[in-house]
Structure 1
Amino acid sequence: MKALLLQEKGKWREMQVSEIAPPAPGKGEILVEVHAVGLNPVDYKTATGGHPNWTYPHILGLDVAGVVAEVGEGVTQWNQGDKVVYHGDLTQKGGYAEFAVTNAHTVSRIPEGVTFENAAALPTAGYTAYQALHGKLPLSQLNTILIHGGAGGVGGFAVQLAKLAGKKVLTTASLHNHEYVKSLRADFVIDYQQEDILAKVNSITDGRGVEAVIDTISRQSATEALDLIAFSGHIVHIAGAPDYTKIKPFTKSLSYHEVALGAAHQSGDIIAEKALAKIGDEMLSLLAEGKISSMLTEVISLDGIPNALARLSERHVKGKIAAKIK
């Protein structure tokens, strides 16, 4: 099969398409003929430092959409020809290839009317946003949510899901992305480069602060966000935990939530692994019904992935990029 090969850690910009033997499904696994694969910052980030479980050449790519080509021993819920999408295990070889293998119980069925490219745009970013909102926050008890990085993948899905849940949504974005984020139905967009975020949040919330923050940016951003949260509020951190010592005990009574979507694959917890498929089912249903957008802004070829990852690393991409494999 053709595959985009990472020859050694740190060399993701130099990846090239080569021929390699296709994988075979083991017990409880399926072999997927890849039709599209989504791109994510985690691809170049993990490729930069490598992973102790990897052997080289390695194949990146976590968000895979395609057709079941073969089922392994014990797999009864999938058949050859089924259209599927999944979030892969980053410790294993991924989907920047014509075929890929994954655990059968983490996979979701692509409904009619949803393209492979749009399905592939969902898993890493969309499932993370879903878990942040519906898996971590007491959503029914909250009214105001600030989402840092609304023009990005996780942030954009979080904006849409929060609005779908009927919440007042604030988000941060560069000025040139304001109209885009508003198209995702954000109520307020704050220019983090030019505006005083704390002053803006206090103005919108009558000085109380937001009831929850979803931070998709960095540890520093998460730490700074603690000042934006109302008493007994929540912060969900995706790109690094805040400095908890900034808030003294018995003052704001905040709750802290970590989202580490891919850790489910290494958890050894079958319920956590199956939850990936359940989240996928829900997200695909929302997409098929037109209730959310995949935010797919660009479709590229397999050999165009290194350049697209470079643009992702420079934070010049809004929405999602998918590569069409077949």
Structure 2
Amino acid sequence: MRVVGWLGQKLYFCQMNTEIPKLQSSDFSTLNCRGHVVGLSKPKIMGILNITPDSFSDGGKFNTGKAALLHAEKMISDGASIIDIGAQSTRPNAEFLSSKEEISRIGNLISIIKKEFPPILISLDTFYSETVKFGFDEGIDLVNDISGGMFDDKMFETVAETGLPYILMHINPTYESMHEKLIHDDIILHINYYFSEKIQKLRNLGIKDIILDPGFGFGKTVEQQHQMIDETEMIGFGEYPLLIGISRKSFIYKPLGKSPLEIQEETQKIHLKILQKGAKILRVHDVLETKKTIDLFLKK
């Protein structure tokens, strides 16, 4: 038996080599997105819309207004219920942008998508509080902050002011170190301890709608990320909904000697596994294939 973390005042243990029961939909709450209640009884697809010239697998494809809108339309048609807009790549050695530059790239894309597709939720992928303020005024429904509030000390209070749901991701403490392999203890214990501290801060500010993202692709070894897949059900202990983003990640394609675009089958097998272990939101590039995987999961 080993300790796998703390959440609130609870101490959790995991019996080695035992099967943990599949989490049921009743274990999760709803999200309040600007007064719109979003149920999580069925898994949701978050389609990735990178309006960047340098993202690792689709940089430059959707960084014009027309291309971005057409891609958003396709992802929605394929089954996405959330569109995650990102103006800054966070791959290793990517160009670093200021908040002002992010806002300039985004332009009026958020309001256009909201106008064209009113039921669709829009998530804004940023670690800047000023970009969050801009996005809120434009109509975003969720904040997706890879930094856990550590790259901008005003992020948490800004999210609290907006009242939007917040996606809390596990990451190393600084922008410069976010891809370094710094974790040498048990990865699940480490992630859960991180989440416990951050959740307390968020709840103290009145932020109630919190989604947890364990941060695949950010500062973890291949082995650690496979442990995260195998023990997905222990991340957050079912107290908060889980968002999982493994789409086109190098820990899958590099060991296989493939490119990011050649691992569709492997990715969907992992998606099915993590759905069975309680994941509620899948952040993906390939929406249609993921929709098929969710449909298969729901039939079981």
Fold similarity call, TM over 0.5: no
Superposition TM-score, scaled by structure 2 size: 0.28
Superposition TM-score, scaled by structure 1 size: 0.27
Higher strand share: 1
Radius of gyration: which is bigger?
A: 1
Higher helix share: 2
